[in-house]
Structure 1
Amino acid sequence: MKYALLTLVLGCSFSLHAQIKLEKLWETDTVIAIPESVYPDLKNKILYVSLIDGPGWAVDGKGGVGKMSPDGKQFDSTWITGLNAPKGIGIRRGKMLVADVTEIVVIDIASGSITKKISPPGALNLNDVTVSESGIAYISDSKAGNVWKLEGDEPELYLTQQPGVNGVKAVGSDLYIAAGKNFQKVDAQKKITPIATLPQGGDGVEPVGNGDFIVTAWVGYIFYVHANGKVETLLETHQQKKNTADIGYDPATQTLWVPTFNGKTVAAYRVVR
């Protein structure tokens, strides 16, 4: 009986202290022109990568969107060109939405062509994009501290007074946002519930199950945020001058794709729990 009890205690202790970690799978060896966001199209086995190719917020026509194979071995940097400083990517109804400084660029995926550009009134620095299961898009404006809602083609101001808002992720009827160091949940009635305080300002946001999230900080940190608000640091790359920007995630394989921005690569990791 004592042996069984001791085994149970030790097992619980191990479970409580089991380490969550990132196991590196690969990193591209070709120069990628300032990758900011990776959006995995898992059905078609394509990684879409937003390419700034210049200063972070420049309106210079040098940006675009590239297509990469999930293993990083094949990359087409010229799929979409002529953008400025594209960042977050979302997809709905066969169309891609890309946040590009003050515009939301709409791309027909089948033809690889830009069909329209939507300009939210007073937009300053549009950053991340997420699309809900019902097809509603949300776009953050980091400089203005706003989140825009896009059901059709008419932008609607959804949230205000969110300083530094960057990463946004729609999960069910809720919207999770990283505004500076504040990681929080916004429900359908716009009630805001704090979840965690991040050590650094948040960027990419991805749910990984059980109410947990992986959240990046652009400066070069990847955090694991537990549903109870506990935050663990999984990776630090800032000393290597590699950023950790807007990530993509495959829950089936637990693969995390990380654009390194100034590092000019895309890296892939497996989340080990």
Structure 2
Amino acid sequence: MMKRLFSIGLGLSLSVMAFGQHQLTELWETKELPTPESVLYSAKNNLLYVSLIDGEGSTKDGKGGVAILNLDGSVKDQHWVTELNAPKGLALYQDLLYVADITAVVVVDVVTGNVVNQIEFPDAVFLNDVAIDDNGVVYVSDTRKGRVYQMRNNKASVYLENTPSVNGLKFLNGHLYALVGPELWKIDSNKKITTVAKGFELGGDGLEPVGNGNFLVTCWGGLVYYVKGDGSFEKLLDVRGEMNTADLGFHPQTNTVYIPTFNNNSVKAFKLN
């Protein structure tokens, strides 16, 4: 991977995006990140992991990787993990980072930064997001196959079919939440599906809980929604035609939202009010 320069605008923007009760105020932007797809906040390490596709999103070219940012947007390690393909969704369990990488999940030891495993998923086409339950069971969405996989003891199997354009996943309070096209689903341990919200203008991408049963949802084309537990939602950001809004991260203590802009090659931080 070629060396790149990073530039940061720290706390200088007064830009405020608001369409309803809540609003997003831009804080900083870290530029020249090669196609960032997902941001994950680590409470244990107090930093941000960022998946970098650095190429075409479905090509096994070895250009991808994972960078580490500090919470102020400065770059801690641009080349923390390299030689991945087109890494997307990220999830942490104990000291292991799980990375969706087209047809495989790559497992990284966050203490050493070493790749310790790479598990190919049967018949996978476009693995996109990762979620992990309290017992370390891994769930992975395949957007183009329209299915969710489950991985136990590093063995993957199909968990749920008929989930068209499924993308963002989160495990919360005993339930798997999934963005399935323009809808947010809640799935219990018996695979019973409840539609939490529907009617997003675009298919959902990133999903983050923000407390009280509420969520933030991004749509890759440039939309961010605040979704309430009762199924109602408000549009926080509409930047269609200006930038992408991919798989976001969230810092609950400060209500800071981290959005990878994908084709704009940056990560932006916003204050959620």
| Paired position in structure 2 for 1:103 | 104
Q: Would the aligned equivalents of 1:22 and 1:269 in 2 still touch at CA under 8 Å?
A: yes
| Paired position in structure 2 for 1:172 | 173
Identify unmatched segments of 5+ residues in structure 1.
Answer: 1-16
| Paired position in structure 2 for 1:190 | 191
| Paired position in structure 2 for 1:155 | 156
Measured in 2, the distance between the counterparts of 1:133 and 1:172 equals 9
Q: Would the aligned equivalents of 2:20 and 2:236 in 1 still touch at CA under 8 Å?
A: no
TM-score for both structures, normalised by structure 2? 0.90
Q: Would the aligned equivalents of 1:33 and 1:53 in 2 still touch at CA under 8 Å?
A: yes
Matching residue's letter, 1:131: I
Q: Would the aligned equivalents of 2:28 and 2:270 in 1 still touch at CA under 8 Å?
A: yes
Shift of 1:75: 4.0
| Paired position in structure 2 for 1:127 | 128
| Paired position in structure 2 for 1:255 | 256
Q: Would the aligned equivalents of 1:254 and 1:270 in 2 still touch at CA under 8 Å?
A: yes
Measured in 2, the distance between the counterparts of 1:109 and 1:34 equals 22
Which one has a larger percent helix, Structure 1 or Structure 2? 1
Shift of 1:170: 0.4
Matching residue's letter, 1:208: V
Q: Would the aligned equivalents of 2:20 and 2:234 in 1 still touch at CA under 8 Å?
A: no
| Paired position in structure 2 for 1:27 | 29
Measured in 2, the distance between the counterparts of 1:19 and 1:91 equals 32
Q: Would the aligned equivalents of 2:122 and 2:157 in 1 still touch at CA under 8 Å?
A: no
Q: Which runs of 4+ in 1 moved over 4 A?
A: none
Residues 111-120 or 31-40, more deviating: 111-120
State the secondary structure of the residue aligned to 1:262: helix
Q: Would the aligned equivalents of 1:97 and 1:129 in 2 still touch at CA under 8 Å?
A: yes
Identify unmatched segments of 5+ residues in structure 2.
Answer: 1-18
Superposed CA RMSD in Å reads 1.3
TM-score for both structures, normalised by structure 1? 0.90
| Paired position in structure 1 for 2:225 | 223
Matching residue's letter, 1:166: N
User: Does structure 1 residue 233 correspond to structure 2 residue 226?
Assistant: no
- Residues 98-126 of structure 1, C-alpha deviation per residue, up to 9 Å, x if partnerless? 00000101111111111121011101100
- Residues 141-163 of structure 1, C-alpha deviation per residue, up to 9 Å, x if partnerless? 00111111123211121111101
